[in-house]
Amino acid sequence: MVVKVYGPIKAACPQRVLSCLLEKDVDFQILHIDLDAGDHKKPDFLLHQPFGQVPAIEDGDFKLFESRAIIRYYASKYENRGPNLLGNTLEERALVDQWLEVEAHNFNDLVYNLVLQLVILPRMGKQGDSALALTCQQKLEKVFDIYEQRLSASAYLSGDSFTLADLSHQPGIRYLVEDAGMGHLVSQRKHVNAWWDTISNRPAWKKLMELASC
């Protein structure tokens, strides 16, 4: 059964799901949603995702939205296939969840707003808010300082193995480094830099980047 993933392959939240499916070797089909054309707000799509956001998945009769819920589901469903993205013990799993929540609540909004102001709005021919971008950048510096501290104690965020916690960061950091000119946030921090180097060179992520560049 092929998992249908609704969303543009270049958008961060669908990429979070696709990275996970590739890690787990789960077959998928991307059903492209044109955000510029407002496809995500049309009645057809709202049946898949009532908030009008991407991604949504369909796996046979099973439907799900919210990228971090989707990756939790597939990491658990295919726990014994490919890398263990969840952790082995209850405590390890809790740490994975903790850092996944950190990404969702302390990291994501800052990256989203920074990228919106510096990359997305200018691409649409609109003026970005440079003061807001600067504020986001300053706050991100502090967040990355905490990540630096954490990653000096373990190779990955939740411990010694790559998990959903690290995976969840891949799309956002790519945007920062490759599109927003914020690579220094990563490269100026020794352990964050090594971590990004490792997680961005995973075969699954590289495969996704290849698919996204077509």
Scanning 21-29, 88-96, 126-134, 167-175 for contacts with other proteins by CB under 8 A, the matching segment is 88-96
Work out how close the CB of 11 gets to other proteins at its nearest, in angstroms, rounded to a whole number.
15
Work out how close the CB of 75 gets to other proteins at its nearest, in angstroms, rounded to a whole number.
11
Taking the least distance from each CB to other proteins, the nearer of 82 and 183 is 82
Q: Is residue 199 at the binding interface for other proteins, with CB under 8 A as the rule?
A: no
CA 169 – CA 18 distance, rounded (Å): 13
CA 172 – CA 91 distance, rounded (Å): 26
**Three-state SS at 4:** strand
Q: Is residue 104 at the binding interface for other proteins, with CB under 8 A as the rule?
A: yes
Q: Is residue 43 at the binding interface for other proteins, with CB under 8 A as the rule?
A: no
Q: Cβ contacts of residue 180 below 8 Å, gap of 6+?
A: 114, 115, 118, 119
Q: Which two tokens stand for residue 127?
A: 């003026």
Helix 203-212, helix 190-200: angle, nearest 10: 70
Q: Which two tokens stand for residue 50?
A: 């009532």
Taking the least distance from each CB to other proteins, the nearer of 148 and 212 is 148
CA 64 – CA 55 distance, rounded (Å): 9
Binding-site member from 2, 42, 51, 184 for other proteins (CB under 8 A): 51
Residues of the shown chain interacting with other proteins in the complex, contacts defined by CB under 8 A: 50-51, 62, 64-69, 72-73, 76-77, 90-91, 93-95, 97-98, 100-102, 104-106, 109, 143, 146, 149-150
